[in-house]
Amino acid sequence: EAFFDVLVVGCGLSGCTIAERCANELGLKVLIIDKRDHVGGNCYDYVDEKCAIRRSMYGAHLFHTKHERVWEYVQRFSEWIPYEHRVRGRVMRDDGKPVTVPIPPTRETVNKLFDEDVRTDAEMEAWYGRERKLPPNGDPPANGEEAALARVGERLYEKVFRHYTKKQWDKEPKELDASVLQRLPCRVTADDRYFSDPHQALPRRGYTRVFENMLTSNDLITVRLECDYFELLRRGKFPRRAFTVYTGPIDGYYASLGMPRLEYRSLRFEEEYINDTPADSENGYFFQEAMVVNYPGADVDYTRIVEYKHTPNQPPGRKDRPGTVIVREYSSDVGEPYYPVPTSKNRELYEKYAELAAREPHVAFVGRLASYKYFNMDEAVLNALEMFDNLKEKGVLAVKRPP
Ligand code: FAD
Ligand code: NA
């Protein structure tokens, strides 16, 4: 039977980055497996045959980074098209009229929602100053609701953040840690970009192609799909290997110990194909005005609608032809593990798992699931590159076949 220097569990961004570095920098023989039938982890995308539109399988993915190291790295595997993401929100005014406004809120948002006339950054700062409701006695906010009120005040909280947060976490903001709403994005400038990072782009031929390019960059890498690590364990069909990099859920790794599991929020996606998209001579044929439109109100159960057709990496000319697919997103407590639930109970439990993991010989735990932490794509890459550096420094991984 073949011997592998490294077994990587998980073909997501974390696993693929480690696999690529091990093969190309150290000349290590790598076996990378995934239980799913595709590479890419949650970044996986494909062209939907029903409408010829490139779409993601696990929710919209917008790449953005301020880390030059990551930007340089990802460009090795794809051409990237600059794309500045802008999110709009469909919000009901108090007079019952719906308006579509920038999210995170800008001066345009408050002007349209509350008939204000805010014109400058300073006026916007002053507006927030009047709206903010700080906890009494200079106390820090005790929970998510107090944190939100201290940051944006009652009206914006009610219209944009309160119900959205409830839909997202299935908990009232009052029941959440203050930290969850402390960093609510709210702008004083007129900048309506969703991200402020210097590099914001989408891969010309989709994310999946990026992963394929990473994994075919060196013959030392072998990929096996529909291959569950624990299934291999159970069947005793374990590949001989020197070292394992595990990017799956950390509590899953220790399931046999019977400790409590870590909580995750998930998403349910409901898709709809629309053929008679209205023609707009300027922009093309679309269902909605932006790729992502949030629905922060209590009137609908979904949090947002994604229309992938807006992205610039669609098949050429696609936007000028009718037809689209839209995906409504519902937050859910069952399904794929997506978002760690930020409670002290989960944090303490994770620490227990992390202690076990630290004592594990010949295994490194890498990535968002193994770290029980939400990583943006660029953070996942950076973290994997740094883990790789670290394993090299410690001599756990070393050059075998010079490149
Ligand atoms: P994953 O992509 O989850 O990969 C882990 C892989 O391990 C999976 O393929 C899984 O099948 C496999 N695996 C698990 N257990 C086993 C096992 N037992 N055996 C074999 N294989 C196993 N980031 C951004 O920068 N911009 C965005 O706009 C953005 N949007 C997002 C939207 C959503 C809905 C979500 C959930 C995330 C979003 N992200 C976004 C974050 C991005 O998805 C992650 O940064 C990235 O997927 C992390 O890669 P990973 O390899 O750590 O984890
Ligand atoms: Na996203």
The DSSP line for 12-26 is: SHHHHHHHHHHHHHH
Q: Residue 358 above 90 pLDDT?
A: yes
CA of 374 to the centre of ligand 2 (A): 12
Among 133-142, 208-217, 271-280, 331-340, top mean pLDDT goes to 208-217
Q: For the chain, how long is the longest CA-to-CA vector?
A: 73
| 1 — pLDDT class (breaks 50, 70, 90) | low
Closest-CA residue to 348 (of 238, 260, 221): 260
* 161-209 pLDDT per residue, tens: 999 999 998 989 998 888 888 877 788 888 889 999 999 999 999 999 9
Is the peptide bond preceding residue 342 cis, with omega within 30 degrees of 0?
Answer: no
In whole angstroms, what is the distance from residue 58 CA to residue 39 CA?
13
Q: Is 74 in the pocket of ligand 1 (CB under 6 A)?
A: no
Q: Which one of the ligands is nearest to 230 CA?
A: 1
Check whether 279 has a pLDDT greater than 80.
no
Pairwise CA distance, residues 299 & 314, whole Å:
32
Confidence band for 403, pLDDT divided at 50, 70 and 90: confident
For the chain, the average pLDDT equals: 94
pLDDT tens digits along 36-65 = 999 999 999 999 999 999 999 999 999 999
How far CA 325 is from CA of 218, 269, 317, in Å, comes to: 36, 12, 16
pLDDT tens-digit readout, 309-353: 999 999 999 999 999 999 999 999 999 999 998 788 999 999 999
**Burial zone of 122 (CB within 10 Å; 0-12 exposed, 13-18 middle, 19+ buried):** exposed
Please tell me the predicted confidence (pLDDT) of residue 186.
Answer: 81
Tell me what pLDDT residue 246 has. 98
Percent of the chain with pLDDT over 70: 100
ipTM of the complex: 0.98
In whole angstroms, what is the distance from residue 248 CA to residue 228 CA? 10
Residue 230 Cβ inside 6 Å of ligand 1? The answer reads yes
Q: Is the CB of 367 under 6 A from ligand 1?
A: yes
pTM of the full structure = 0.95
CB 306 less than 6 A from any atom of ligand 1: no
Q: Judge if the beta carbon of residue 244 lies within 6 A of ligand 1.
A: no
42 Cα: distance to centroid of ligand 1 (angstroms)? 4
